[in-house]
């Protein structure tokens, strides 16, 4: 196995394991994106006459075949490969010969990995936004089923003013709509093409046309100057993690409401049997474990955001290997958010409010009564407020 940086010198096995880290496992999701980036790069090299049309065709066909084989489980990324980039290039060169060895001209592993990562993040943000839209549909359907039902509105954990299921659903719907907007806004930093910036200082002497790969890969802009690329590492990742964390906090607050509503003391809602678990000792228990784990999940994504921010803080300009550590928290948060959004939508689909158990305290209508006095008697609100307050101060 010859890794992209190999110079024929020995490498201690312990060093390989430590420096490769989790990349050989994490990079599985990047295979189709590295293939796309590599094909675009090869086509650009051919366009500027740095490789032949024949070599370009062989590279593109070989990469496409490797991606198909990977999806069918015919090969995997090993520790010896170190990462997706070596795994693909070494297999490509083995299959098509010298043409495969020409692919890396005009790029570094630094801009190569960032290209694949940004292509993946672009899709991941869109995918997550689509899942949140499905969650909004589930909340909307709940509102349509039981929206007119009155429930207490709470401040300070006390009955405050009357609300409805529709208002409860609507508040979270707006929050989830904002989450979709936030995920879309994260594309501003994601959707810049780093390919051709190489190790951070361009490719002196090579007539690359970076705008070609920008167009082929659908990026909104070519990132310039080349020195800005490594300085931007972590920004798109942290932006997406920030939006995911806000989304997960909203999910956590919804979960907290539902956990309260599900207690025997409240019993405002019923959950479908298939979304609850049991106790190993208490035969009667049905536990809303899903909601408890949802409530905890924002802590994980917040920690992922903090990890990403701290990795990049105070690094000098140019590439540093520290940046490899961004992948694990980034992928962990994306996967957790996708699973959490889907499971909450599933839970809402089978959830029902129980009107027979919902009682509104008489005092919950006090503000409405004060407003009635203002409208009907023309007195100032503060006077009406005091008059109504006297009824509840005894």
User: Catalytic residues, which ones?
Assistant: 156, 279
Q: Rounded distance, CA 34 to CA 83, Å?
A: 11
Task: Tell me which residue of 53, 43, 60 sits closest to 95, measured CA to CA.
Answer: 60
Q: Rounded distance, CA 277 to CA 341, Å?
A: 19
Q: Is residue 371 packed enough to be buried (19+ CB in 10 Å), middle (13-18) or exposed (0-12)? A: middle
Q: Rounded distance, CA 379 to CA 374, Å?
A: 5
DSSP conformation letters of 66-109: HHHHHHTTS----TTT-SHHHHHHHHHHHHHTHHHHTTTTT--H
Backbone angles phi, psi at 265, to 5 degrees: -65, -35
Task: Tell me which residue of 279, 245, 220 sits closest to 128, measured CA to CA.
Answer: 245
Helix 165-185 / helix 109-146 crossing angle, nearest 10 deg = 160
């Amino acid at each position: 196995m010859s890794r992209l940086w190999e110079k024929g010198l020995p490498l201690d096995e312990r060093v390989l394991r430590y420096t490769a880290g989790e990349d050989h496992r994490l990079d599985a999701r990047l295979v189709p994106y590295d293939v796309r980036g590599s094909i675009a790069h090869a086509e650009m090299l051919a366009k500027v006459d740095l490789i032949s049309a024949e070599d370009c065709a062989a590279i593109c066909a070989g990469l496409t075949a490797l991606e198909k084989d990977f999806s069918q489980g015919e090969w995997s990324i090993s520790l010896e490969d170190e990462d997706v980039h070596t795994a693909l290039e070494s297999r490509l060169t083995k299959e098509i010969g010298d043409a495969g060895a020409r692919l890396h001209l005009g790029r570094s592993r630094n801009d190569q990995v960032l290209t694949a990562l940004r292509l993946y993040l672009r899709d991941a943000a869109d995918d997550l936004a689509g899942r949140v839209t499905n969650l909004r549909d589930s909340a909307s359907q709940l509102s349509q089923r039981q929206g007119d039902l009155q429930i207490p509105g709470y401040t300070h954990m006390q009955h405050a003013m009357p609300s409805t299921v529709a208002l409860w659903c609507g508040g979270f719907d707006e929050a989830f709509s904002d989450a979709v907007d936030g995920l879309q806004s994260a594309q501003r930093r994601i959707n810049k093409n780093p390919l051709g910036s190489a190790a951070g200082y361009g490719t002196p002497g090579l007539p690359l046309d970076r705008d070609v790969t920008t167009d082929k890969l659908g990026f909104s802009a070519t990132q310039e100057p080349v020195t800005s690329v490594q300085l931007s590492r972590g920004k798109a990742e942290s932006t997406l993690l920030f939006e995911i964390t806000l989304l997960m906090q909203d999910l956590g607050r919804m979960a907290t409401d539902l956990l309260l509503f599900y207690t025997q003391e409240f019993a405002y809602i019923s959950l479908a049997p298939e979304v609850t678990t049991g106790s190993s000792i208490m035969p009667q228990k049905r536990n809303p474990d899903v909601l408890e784990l949802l409530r905890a999940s924002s802590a994980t994504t917040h920690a992922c955001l903090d990890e990403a921010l701290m990795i990049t803080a105070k690094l000098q300009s140019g590439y540093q290997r520290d940046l490899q550590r961004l992948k694990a928290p980034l992928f962990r948060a994306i996967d957790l958010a996708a699973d959490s959004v889907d499971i909450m939508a599933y839970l809402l689909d089978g959830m029902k409010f129980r009107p027979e158990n919902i009682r509104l305290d008489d005092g919950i209508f006090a503000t409405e009564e004060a407003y009635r006095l203002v409208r009907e008697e023309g007195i100032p609100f503060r006077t009406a407020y005091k008059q109504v307050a006297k009824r509840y101060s005894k």
